[in-house]
Amino acid sequence: MINETDPSTLSTSGRLLSYNDAVKEGLQTGIKFTELMDQLINTKDPSVLVEAAQALSVYVLDSDFVTFPHQYNTADYYLIFMSRLLELHDKGDLITLQSHEATQHLTQQITAMGDLGTFAFQPADDTGGVYYTEQVTGEVLFYLNLKRQVMRMNSKAITQLFIITYHDKLENEQILSTTQLLIDFGQSLKTDFGFDVDFNLLDTSNQEFYYVQANELSSEVVDKLFVAAAEQDYMLMHAQDGATLQLPQDVTLTIASHTASGQAKWGLTVQDQDEKMSWFKVLLTYDFLRDWYLDNLDELQIRSDALVF
């Protein structure tokens, strides 16, 4: 008895036809892949771009009868997507994609950093997203998930990479240009697709409350800031549940407790008239605040999304 779903029971002709159909199906899968790649590479429509990137990130190209020797991985498609989205927003010249024959994968360099810093996406276990990772140091700057439409900045890695590791190797303008590129990418995700984006310590909004690591900030840490500020002719003023520091150009730094989910937690706010200053920019601008922050990092480290970092 011939079972058409079992090739071993088919006649010789039947087996050959079954084989030929499987090859055709495999080739058709390849053609569909090239169509998606055309969209990823050439489209001017952001919605088509993100759909192609999402489809390619989970696309299974090989079949039992057709195998394609050179393939990008999920993280590579995310990197192409990021580069193309920046290109659509007239920022394509600020990054460079590099293909590595030995590994058959892609990396990215940010023009503002010169020869420093090589970036790539790495798969995030169990979440379906990816981590934007600096390849030399291993620092993970942000998490991105196209399906969930989520982007999360990692304050710890951004601090380590730009406030510590590369602080003396790059000019502040280079660092700010680099982080602005990350902000621009996140803003494009929000504007074009409605992504939920947390800029964390890069956020310049006056409404942003930067939660610090310690639930209860010690008085010793605040006292150290009083001393450091006074040495630079600034006066840290006591305020209800905290303290404020007035900086040039009408920038106000506030240390305060903030009630979230019924529990008071400590953090910082940075406020200015034009909403151009973030805590990150403050750290780059004022050495005494940078030193205070780094010397007390166990308590003052700005928190990141615990679900992805």
Q: Which of 52-61, 102-111, 173-182, 225-234 has the lowest mean pLDDT?
A: 102-111
Its pTM stands at: 0.90
Dihedrals φ, ψ of 254, to 5°?
-125, 135
User: Does residue 188 or residue 105 have the better pLDDT?
Assistant: 188
- Tell me: pLDDT of 258 over 90: no
- Tell me: pLDDT of 114 over 60: yes
- Tell me: pLDDT of 113 over 50: yes
Q: Residue 13: what pLDDT? A: 78
Domain spanning 210-300: CATH 2.30.40: no
Integer distance in angstroms from the first to the last C-alpha of the chain? 58
Helix %, strand %, coil % of the chain (to 5): 45, 20, 35
Q: Which of 13-27, 35-49, 189-203 has the lowest mean pLDDT?
A: 13-27
Q: Which of 100-109, 113-122, 158-167 has the lowest mean pLDDT?
A: 100-109
Q: Residue 262: what pLDDT? A: 57
Q: Residue 242: what pLDDT? A: 85
| Percentage of the chain lying above the pLDDT 90 cut | 74
Give, to the nearest 10 degrees, the angle between helix 46-57 and helix 74-88. Answer: 170
Mean pLDDT calculated for residue range 154-170: 97
Q: Residue 239: what pLDDT? A: 80
Comparing C-alpha atoms, which of 158, 155, 150, 161 is closest to residue 304?
A: 155
Rounded-to-integer distance, Cα 193 and Cα 60, Å: 25
Q: What is the residue-averaged pLDDT of the chain?
A: 91
Q: Which of 38-47, 63-72, 247-256, 279-288 has the lowest mean pLDDT?
A: 63-72
Q: Residue 1: what pLDDT? A: 37
Q: What letter does residue 301 receive in the DSSP assignment?
A: P
Q: Which of 5-9, 18-22, 266-270 has the lowest mean pLDDT?
A: 5-9
Tally of CA atoms within 13 A in the half-sphere of 230 that contains its CB: 7
Comparing C-alpha atoms, which of 182, 148, 181, 178 is closest to residue 50?
A: 148
Rounded-to-integer distance, Cα 33 and Cα 37, Å: 6
Mean pLDDT calculated for residue range 262-267: 75
- Tell me: pLDDT of 189 over 80: yes
Rounded-to-integer distance, Cα 97 and Cα 76, Å: 10
